[in-house]
Amino acid sequence: MSRFLYTKKNIIEFTPVLSGVKICVILRISSRSTSCKYRCLYNTACYRHGKVGNMRTDILIVGTGCSGLYAALHLPQDKSVTLITKSDVESSDSYLAQGGMCVLKDESDYEAYFEDTMKAGHYENDEKSVEIMIRSSQDVVKDLISYGVDFQKEEDGSLAYTKEGAHSQKRILFHKDITGQEITSHLYEEAKKRSNITILEYTCLMDLVCENNVCRAAEVVYSDGTTERIYADYIMLATGGIGGRFRHSTNYRHLTGDAIALAEKYGIKCKNLDYIQIHPTTLYSDNTGERSFLISESVRGEGALLYNKNMERFVDELLPRDLLTKAIYEQMEKDGTDYVWEDLRPIPPQELEEHFPNIVAHCLNMGYDVEKECIPVVPAQHYFMGGIEVDHESRTSMDRLYAIGETACNGVHGKNRLASNSLLESLVFAKRAALDIGKKIETRAKLP
């Protein structure tokens, strides 16, 4: 049973899947999806319908979100790098990140930023991971700007910062309310310029080939049903989160924890698999088959309020996500409703249009004018703090196998992630993984 409270209605047999009871299950994609034919956790029987071929690459990265792309950009350019993704590149949760990305503005904010991260994580965080993430943030920002990422600026041209729940001060860089798209699309464009990088879309990871605790290859299935074994010196798992296993989630439906299932199969160490974050505010909808639309925490950081059924405030809107989610569920139970109300009207109209245009447009499309009325919001599964256990260089317990991004657990988030630390953490530890592989390749080249 998950340690996270108030998830019982939201979850669909997630714990049995990860514990191995129902791990070999094929889930057919609905007709709405453009993803690969099978949305599945591993199952050796499901891909024997095609002839298995072989290919070779120096490094294989499974996943094309921000961590996978950023890692590819920091691997040696004289080595072949192949990235595969279950859907198209843009159908990644990295593209969905709205609020922004944290950064250490200057040394005066270090202690506060560190404490905010630890407090949000209930002090279960790996302190060294937190230090690495914060200290590396400015370096990541320089990289992103060099790729053309356009963070919001002040009138004097300096970087602008916003604030979200559980942050003691403004330290979050952003691009309107589509920061993830701004970052990941530029990483994608940069990757397409590299002659050593190949990206294969609609390609599903089905299994790993392991021998004596060494990862040798990955078996994949293409959209036409043909299969291939891809041999690589190093493999990175960057398969994202687990939201596809939930009835209500902000994640894409094809993200089903595939790498976690394979880790369970091969005895690769995992950590905190029940640390699942529920985002407090997604737009309420009767349609449970679609991805939940996130109402960014940034709107509360800029002044949005939460009301009960009587249009009365009932909570501090800037509590950490887990505590706010708990308060919302309690209020819903007390009111006998399926949602609470969020009021964006305290935010000046110009600020709404400039900072949150995507949210404003989506709500309007759903029949809500946020400048004139409140919107119904409900918590939904959002992020996975647990995952495949990795060290500070993103190495797993299996040789030549790395895990990065949401599928990995380096302990930086503890029991609950601080808002807007996800993009930063993914990028910081993806780069460290790539540089570690680069060092190993260089060392091997020097051997007689």
Q: Which residues are catalytic?
A: 321
**Cα separation of 328 and 241, whole Å?**
24
Sign of CA dihedral 118, 122, 123, 129: negative
Distance CA 293, CA 300 (A): 16
The secondary structure of residue 108, as a DSSP letter, is G
Instruction: Report which residue type is found at 33.
Output: S
Instruction: Judge residue 44's burial from the number of C-beta atoms within 10 Å of its C-beta, 0-12 exposed, 13-18 middle, 19 or more buried.
Output: exposed
CB 306 within 8 A of CB 340: yes
Nearest CA among 298, 352, 351, 306 for reference residue 328:
306
For residues 425 and 120, the answer to whether their CB atoms sit within 8 Å is no
Give the phi and the psi of residue 103 in degrees, each rounded to 5: -155, 150
23-28: long-range pairs with CB below 8 Å, 24+? 23/261, 23/264, 23/265, 27/256
How far CA 141 is from CA of 102, 135, 152, 428, in Å, comes to: 10, 12, 13, 10
Tokens of 4: 């996270």
Asked if residues 164 and 301 have their Cβ atoms less than 8 Å apart, the reply is yes
Angle, helix 422-446 to helix 127-146, in steps of 10 degrees: 90
The rounded distance, in Å, linking the Cα atoms of 252 and 270 is: 23
Amino acid identity of 327?
A
